[in-house]
Structure 1
Amino acid sequence: MRYIILEDEHLTAERLAKMVKTARPEYKLLAELDSVSAAVKWLKQNPHPQIAFFDIQLADGISFEVFEQVKIDFPAIFTTAFNEYAIKAFKVNSIDYLLKPIGEADLLLAIEKFERMQQPAAISSELISAITRQLSEPRYRKRFIVWVGEHIKTIDTDGIAMFHAMNKSTFIRTADNRDYGIEFTLELLENDIDPLMFFRVNRSTIISKKFITDIVVYSSSRLKVMLSIPTEEPIIVSRERVADFKQWLEL
């Protein structure tokens, strides 16, 4: 069985591929794609797979946009953190889904379901439109997946005190004052996390409102922010961001 993965988090895609290999060693991964545009380009230039794993929310859009640009003649398993209403829509139309973080048992059940289906249901344009409407409201990341040695750990955004960039790498700092590397730039994070919860105070730091303990006036019309966790360097709100920062505090 030939398959593709459409997922914008490399660690998640890598973990999913390993799980598929464990469940079905004979399955062949044709491509790991990370965006709507990459998926459209690949599907137009290559023979289609027999099955696909599609993350719904991608950096450049929603995976359903692929169906609007390419005729899809293969079944798909969607990975999602969807609400119950949308999940029911998947079930009614014989489209399977996996809630993140994906469990091995759930993955195996989804694969077995598709293997039993002699004629997988077509994904109708009406369904695509209905679910796309549900996705029109902003949806922000609730958790991140990180590697800790050979282990995978999930970190809820509620437990993140700050994101900071250092030496061309980006790190999460958690409530217990630990750093975890992630494959995001701060620019990408700004579009991916809840702006009511997080604010980018300068070029290298995004902080969580939840962890602010004090704010004091600093030199050159800037502000200094103290968090409930220690930091190596003072967190300074740059002069051009001070006005927006004050407004953010009131939200």
Structure 2
Amino acid sequence: MNPNLRIILIEDEAATARNLEYILKEINPDIEVVVILQSVTEGVDWLTTTVSDYDLIFSDIRLSDGLSFEIFKQTNIKKPVIFVTAYNDYAIEAFWNNGIDYILKPFDREEIQRTLLKYNTLIASDIKIKKEALLKQLESVTNRYRKSFLIHYCGRLIPVEAAKISWFYTANEIVYAHTTSGQQYTVEFTLEQLERDLSPELFFRANRQFIINRNAINAVEYFFNGRLLIKIHPSSQEQIIVSKAKAMMFRKWLDQ
């Protein structure tokens, strides 16, 4: 791995940027994060006015003031880009903007290490990825999520489509799936496992107890101290509260 790798991070969520920088340093302490850019405006300004050498960009897609693709349209970036995002519907466009990989949030150390190895392989062999290979990778990205669950219920196995589950809820170390028809099942997964396995376009981790389906949301109300109260169908006995820290992320997720 290139010991002098210089990286730009384009990410508007400070916690995600810190986590990514920590993982990069953990993988290779000699990696240098040159700058963290938090918006399209900041990205365009820095990349057009700052004379600084770098090798690679890690970029989110949905930023606070637009899509990061606008940065690449307004600058003359030639370096490869690894897109790190919660949305898989931009994958094709990403590969037309110097993208060499597409990582979906939440990411882990293994995924970041894999993509760095891929970058180094491409640089070392001077290989340009063909569009056919990119489309195959896109297919693997978009089809990686769980489509259904086979649930044990009353001595039977019942297939339940993921899209027909309104929300997942955990209590006393048991996880429940509540369907759009009002049926409740227990599932043999933790919320952390479900968060990885479910499509981030359709499902959102609202808090420690709930993962909710976009199509089940009836309304969002302002709550105390910058938090949000989610009204969902079928309704839950427990209030579904999104914290102030996650409120902006939730609103961005819902507004697409």
For the aligned pair, the TM-score class normalised by the smaller chain equals 0.5 to 0.7
C-alpha distance in 2 between matches for 1:63 and 1:42: 13
Matched, 1:170 2:227: yes
Matched, 1:30 2:91: no
Match of 1:74 in 2: 79
Distance 1:24 1:172, change over 3 A: farther
Structure 2 runs not aligned, ≥5 long: 135-199
C-alpha distance in 1 between matches for 2:6 and 2:210: 29
Matched, 1:181 2:239: no
C-alpha distance in 1 between matches for 2:56 and 2:19: 17
Q: Deviations over 1:179-223 (max 9, x none)?
A: 45243667x86564158xxxxxxxxxxxxxxxxxxxxxxxxxxxx
Shifted more, 113-122 versus 48-57: the winner is 113-122
C-alpha distance in 2 between matches for 1:22 and 1:146: 29
The Cα shift of 1:9 comes to 2.1
Query: Is the 8 Å Cα contact of residues 3 and 49 (structure 1) preserved in structure 2?
Result: yes
Kindly, what percent of the aligned residue pairs are identical?
28
Query: Is the 8 Å Cα contact of residues 11 and 145 (structure 1) preserved in structure 2?
Result: no
Q: Deviations over 1:10-34 (max 9, x none)?
A: 2222222222122222111122222
Q: Superposition RMSD on alpha carbons, in Å? A: 4.1
Match of 2:92 in 1: 86
Match of 2:25 in 1: 21
Match of 2:58 in 1: 53
Q: Give matches, 1:88-237, under 5 Å.
A: 90=95, 95-118=100-123, 119=126, 121=128, 142=202, 155-156=211-212, 158=214, 162=220, 164-167=222-225, 169-171=226-228, 176-177=238-239, 179-183=241-245, 192-194=253-255
Using the size of structure 1 for normalisation, the TM-score is 0.53
C-alpha distance in 2 between matches for 1:45 and 1:166: 42
Structure 1 runs not aligned, ≥5 long: 128-139, 196-251
The Cα shift of 1:141 comes to 5.9
Using the size of structure 2 for normalisation, the TM-score is 0.53
